[in-house]
Chain A
Amino acid sequence: MMTSRALHGPARAVVIGLGLLVAWQALVMATALPPYILPDPLRVMTALVVHAASIGRHAAITLTEIVLGLGIGIALGAASALLIVAFRPARRWLLPLLVVSQAVPVFALAPLLVLWLGYGLASKVAMAAVIIYFPVTAAFSDGLRRADPGWLDLALSMDASRLASLRHIRAPAALPALASGVRVATAVAPIGAVVGEWVGASAGLGYLMLHANARMQIDLMFAALLILGAIAVALYFAVDRLLKRLMPWQPESSPAED
């Protein structure tokens, strides 16, 4: 336990990054694959620098798609969960819809979304939102339904209306569950955006990668992939951090400390 504690987060990230680079370089040298199959790190870094402006532009678009998709998907998911729990008719009508939205392979919807919403931002935002809608709704509605019955008895003795209980007890009690949903959403939202870009787009990192692949610019493709990965990881940790700050009462215990 001490050894894992001795290195702080950033230092550990650097070590992991360096380790991956070394492994990558070793793989290139050992397999002697041509650069158009597996470029070495230096070549990719060079591509990153050379194409910095272009990658940056495409990255900004993809990031916008992811963030907008996240925002819309989380808002819709949370609202649906509240509706499901607050109104019994909503449960009957929304639940089947929810199951269908998850049973249909979301990727199969991508061509449709592009057809309907065009090649621009909207279809990718919709794709990301659709893909995260279910995990957010499921996590939050579960949390809303699992509020401590003791709290609800207490609310009953305080003459709380159902809506007041929902607002002041069920909803805050379900925030940790919502947070789990949001974490999953943050991890999968980039998938939605990139798949959307693959199906039809004129900008974004997914588009850039397809484009580079077609022109055998594998180093550029890797550079775009690297940035995509960096965005996804940074976004996840930013969201994770924000969620922890929003819920300071939520105790955390690591199994390693038992």
Chain B
Amino acid sequence: MIEFKDVTKEYDNGTLALDEVNLKIENGEFVFLVGSSGAGKTTVTKILMREENVTSGQVYLYGEDITKISQKEIPYLRRKMGVVFQDFRLLEDRTVYENVEFAMRIVGASRREIRRRVPVVLNMVGLNYKAKMLPKELSGGEQQRVALARALVNNPSILIADEPTGNLNPKTAMEIMEILDNINQMGTTIIMATHAKEIVDVMKKRVVEIRDGKVVRDEVGGEYNVQPV
């Protein structure tokens, strides 16, 4: 369902971020993108969200080449995905509930749907009791759980996580991974770019290693095993 075909991405400053990348991800897979900093992991996620477009090659999502879609279609593409970032990116002046509700508002959900769905998702990430709190009143792990709830509230078929545990302590990071694993069990495809060796080693999922813009390893049940540059 996701396929990168001979994808090359060269940034305006001349950096070659991806070099003839071929990658296929099936529905419901859990894939770790690993590699040292600047290897090209984040570029993969950015291309998937069409924050960046390819220099050459095609990227198919459910059979549609997303490198060809117009600027106007990008928001609708992004609605098929949930996104989680290392720095959470929550709206500081809105409560936990409002942060999650916000994602449903964007897609034009009715108030009834919102009232029904938001508590369910908050419950899924274990934050129902903190719905009225502001992000600054929460711990890092809790903030990331809010971000997860926001990413999941519109039932995306794909979840893209860019270093979601990067700002968390190991225990909290494992809690987040447990939630991600549960979400994956329910059928959501998860693509996670990470540097967290322990997590990758423990989870035993598919590991795709990128080095200098090329896929150098694609291993099911693999380990982190990234050689320092």
Answer yes or no: are A and B bound together in one complex: no
